[in-house]
Amino acid sequence: MQEAQRPAVTISAIAAEAGVSVPTVSRVLNGRSDVAPRTRERVETLLRDHGYQRRGVRPEGRSGLIDLVFNDLDSPWAVEIIRGVEEAANEAGASTVVSAIHRGTNPASTRQWLDNVSARASDGAILVTTDLDSSLRAELQRLQVPAVVVDPAGVPDLDVPTIGATNWTGAVGATEHLTGIGHRRIGFVAGTPGLWCSRARLDGYRAGLDAAGIPFDASLAIEGDFDYQSGFRAGWKLLELPEPPTAVFAASDQMALGVYEAVRKKGLRVPEDISVVGFDDLPEARWASPPLTTVRQPLAEMGKLAARTVLRMLQGEVVESPRVELSTRLVVRESTAAPHGA
């Protein structure tokens, strides 16, 4: 008679029997040194007695599968992140699964994604422009899936490694470029409200104005949502003002290209009639007519670092800097010039 197969034990069951937290068991599994010797011995004995096997991790501690999760996948910005993650994953012999979970509009999609993560035994997760809230983090811990957040939506949680860019500094540089060539009336097209990067870029714009002694004018700051259409609408609104701006700084390249179209439909020209600056340095920025002055955000590098951080965590390494911001830089092209008549 064949012996009945013993049901698989979970990390939560081990933690409960040992009288410790789930993260403590995870630290033992990852070989971390920050566990008391007696606690480590008790947990290791239980793991051994129950025949516990870590799922989805290859020999040598390498990841077999990384989940890359976006709220939306309808932007060239996402493609750059994917490119960086794929490159780092391929170097490590890992594979990538890309998903969009639309957490804001369809909460059930998060549950479906977690079920999929469990079913395919994913080894790590990279979440882009989202908040890793306590319930989602607890579920990922239960599944033993380390997570990294790229460009966090809200205030970064220091318990979770995050990868971002110097949004504030980049916005200051873009604004100072425009004031430096003589612009005093500068419009701003803001990103999606509530996102950390949107607030940082707006604050940087205001700081750049302040450094030039220019008071902030709320009528010149128009809300957008990072896409082309919102840039067109905001650009049109700015150009309809009784005293339109001589320059516009848009918080994304897609919105900047929308401003281009508004300028064209008004019978005006960039940069002869109005200067335009974007943010991201997507490939489209170089192909635009005229080529777009923009703040280069190292999107592919952010994706690459996120993947490498997940792989390090899978190998039991401690991430020394939970919050990393990669440098942005201004790329001056042909869309900016001194204001007409200056």
Relative to beta strand 147-150, strand 186-190 is: unpaired
The residue behind tokens 């991790």 is 57
Task: Report the pLDDT value the prediction gives residue 60, as an integer from 0 to 100.
Answer: 45
Please compute Rg for the chain using Cα positions. 24
Task: Report the pLDDT value the prediction gives residue 62, as an integer from 0 to 100.
Answer: 41
Task: Report the pLDDT value the prediction gives residue 53, as an integer from 0 to 100.
Answer: 56
* 253-266 per-residue burial string, b: 16 or more CB within 10 A, e: under 16: bbbbbbbbebbeee
- Any idea of the CA torsion for 96, 297, 159, 198, to the nearest 10 degrees? -120
Task: Report the pLDDT value the prediction gives residue 144, as an integer from 0 to 100.
Answer: 84
Task: Report the pLDDT value the prediction gives residue 34, as an integer from 0 to 100.
Answer: 66
Spatial contact of 324 and 164, defined as CB atoms under 8 Å apart = yes
Spatial contact of 169 and 328, defined as CB atoms under 8 Å apart = yes
Number of separate helices (H) and strands (E) present in the chain: 12, 12
Q: Which of 211, 205, 212, 249 is nearest to 231 (CA)?
A: 249
Helix H or strand E encompassing 275: strand 275-280
Over the stretch 150-197, which tens digit does the pLDDT of each residue have? 988 776 565 788 899 999 999 999 999 999 999 999 999 999 888 889
Task: Report the pLDDT value the prediction gives residue 2, as an integer from 0 to 100.
Answer: 40
* Structure tokens belonging to residue 124: 């790590």
Task: Report the pLDDT value the prediction gives residue 63, as an integer from 0 to 100.
Answer: 42
What whole-number distance in Å separates Cα of residue 52 and Cα of residue 196?
A: 40
Task: Report the pLDDT value the prediction gives residue 322, as an integer from 0 to 100.
Answer: 79
Q: In what order do the strands lie in the sheet containing 124-128?
A: 95-100, 65-70, 124-128, 147-150, 162-165, 323-326
DSSP one-letter code for 218? G
Task: Report the pLDDT value the prediction gives residue 176, as an integer from 0 to 100.
Answer: 98
Which portions of the chain are predicted below pLDDT 70? 1-12, 22-23, 26-27, 29-34, 52-63, 102-107, 131, 155-158, 318, 320-321, 341-342
Q: Which of 282, 289, 280 is nearest to 334 (CA)?
A: 289
